Structure 1
Amino acid sequence: MANQETILIADNSEIYCAILRGLFEGEYNLLEAENGEQALMMMRQYRESITVVLLDLFMPEKDGYEVLQEMRQENLIFHEPVIVITAEDSMDNRVKVLELGAMDIIAKPFEPDVVKSRVKNIIESGRYRRSLESGLHIRRIRMFTKILLEEVARNYQEYQLDAHKIRLITESSSMHDIGKFVKTIPN
């Protein structure tokens, strides 16, 4: 059974797509695009579920540079980390794709284990970042709830909010996100 992480493979080379598919099939959900326009369409459509994008630079319709530029303009680059996989491995090219927002660049032909490890590292880093964001979100919800309840207790005595009730409600306030938590539990 695949994880809930989804990898978008954007490459017009059937050979490299097959290699990448073989590396990740069964472990992750996979989407494939054979050109830059398709890749952008999928990124917009599956924005919430794509975990990492493996992007070739030289594709028809829109090349990888154009894809990175549009991702940046639409703030997709901050939601979907990109690893560029390309035969063009010059220093200028490396700098350019990193400046456009790619997280990493790997030269073709590549070592499959290196690609797999880099993808895994980016996915784990994303999980960690999301867990930190979630923890901070819960703390903020509790803090705002407590402030509001204390204000209600001060100004509206008819609600009979004492310290115990405020504490119970405050501690329960993060339960509104329980559905998000349940979705993270593997089957």
Structure 2
Amino acid sequence: MIEEYKKTIFIVDDTTEIIDILETILSKDYNIKFALNGEKALKKLFGSNDLPDLILLDIMMPEINGYDVCKRLKENEKTQQIPVIFVSAMDEVDDETKGFNLGAVDYITKPFNTAIVKTRVKTHIELSEARKTLERNNEQLKSVLKLREDMADMIMHDMRNMLGTIMGYSDLLIAKHDIPSKYIKYVQNIHTQSQHLNSFLNDMLIMAKTEKTQLVLNRSLVDLSHIFYFLESVHSIVASSKGIRLVFESIGDPRCISLDVKLFQRVLDNLISNALKFSPPESKVVVKAEYPQLETDKTRIYVIDEGMGIPEEHHNRLFKKFEIIEAKAHGVHQIGFGLAFCKMVVDAHNGNIFVKNNSPTGAVFTIEL
């Protein structure tokens, strides 16, 4: 029969009678080791690789008292995680907070109550084991996350290389003059969609880095019309191929806004791509900037489509990473990574992004800055 493993209790007391009493109470359930003074205890503990699971430490001892022993135990990396319970007479506990401040987990007073001694020892050993298990699990989780990050980095690196090849060949095909004109738009579409996928990969990399550190913005004063002009050139081919009218407009007196151009451009790129994806033929997508009359008021940017709209119960979920929203009418299962990226960037600009349903159909995404 295999003997059950027992935890080890280390008793430090200058009175052998006290050690005998505690050993009698605890030896049935635990292995017992002891030292008759603080100096011997520290020498045994610092010099051993077989450390106890809990220490019962007398306060009033000659030469080195229990408080000083506890202080040195907690200063040593090897022994600092071992739970310490002070053992003292009732009239010796004049300052319990001193022991707790030094790192002790509890007190046991003399004369001993057997049930209390057993319960407190058992409780703190279980708490210590739970902490060790949690630390081991955390280390394992860190290893798994590190492996996942490394694999994701490698995959995205390889995908970007492949995309670069696709975009390069599509550029060469577009530059050739002997390709029938009816095929040119297909090649252009391949190039455009490759650019979108490349932007998506860049967004993923930014979000992965931002989970570790705060997103750093490279702000400059920007005229939104310049961003609109660029986005119109990017999305007009896709819109035209789907029979969707893509409109950019402004309301109010234009003014420059402090933005990170590249990041904010990706935000609008995501919103416009989604609007085109979920809009039916012969519909309209409007991208609109609304400038305030007062400088203290907010500038608003809208992306408005005439698609199926979004059920209100999904509005908050849209901006969470990896949330899946079904768009059955178009046969699309949308994973909300792009919108999570949008929210992250808008939040970093101290702005706000939200969605409401359009009337009679469609959705209105609003950014306030």
Same fold (TM over 0.5): yes
Residue 95 of structure 1 and its aligned partner are, at CA, apart by: 2.4
Unpaired segments of 5 or more residues in structure 1?
Answer: 158-187
Residue 65 of structure 1 and its aligned partner are, at CA, apart by: 1.7
> Which residue is 1:13 aligned to?
15
Task: Return the structure number with greater strand share.
Answer: 2
Q: How many residues align?
A: 157
Residue 3 of structure 1 and its aligned partner are, at CA, apart by: 3.0
Q: Residue 38 of structure 1: which of 18, 37, 40 is its match?
A: 40
| SS at 1:29 equivalent | strand
Unpaired segments of 5 or more residues in structure 2?
Answer: 160-369
CA distance in 2, matches of 1:5, 1:59: 26
> Which residue is 1:147 aligned to?
149
| SS at 1:30 equivalent | strand
**TM-score, normalised by the number of residues in structure 2:** 0.39
Conservation of the 8 A alpha-carbon contact between 2:38 and 2:66: yes
Structure 1 runs (4+) deviating above 4 angstroms are 153-157
Q: C-alpha root-mean-square deviation of aligned residues, in Å?
A: 2.3
| SS at 1:83 equivalent | strand
> Which residue is 1:164 aligned to?
none
What percent of counterpart residues are identical?
31
**CA offsets, 1:115-154, max 9 Å, x none?**
1110000011111112222222211111101222333445
- Between stretches 87-96 and 113-122, larger displacement belongs to 87-96
Conservation of the 8 A alpha-carbon contact between 1:2 and 1:26: no
CA distance in 2, matches of 1:91, 1:53: 18
**TM-score, normalised by the number of residues in structure 1:** 0.73
Change (3 A) 1:128 1:46: same
Higher relative contact order (CA 8 A, sep 6+): 1
Change (3 A) 1:146 1:114: same
- Matched to 1:52, the amino acid is L
Change (3 A) 1:99 1:88: farther
CA distance in 2, matches of 1:22, 1:133: 33
> Which residue is 1:96 aligned to?
98
- Between stretches 110-119 and 81-90, larger displacement belongs to 81-90
CA distance in 2, matches of 1:83, 1:2: 25
Q: Residue 136 of structure 1: which of 135, 138, 158 is its match?
A: 138
- Matched to 1:140, the amino acid is K
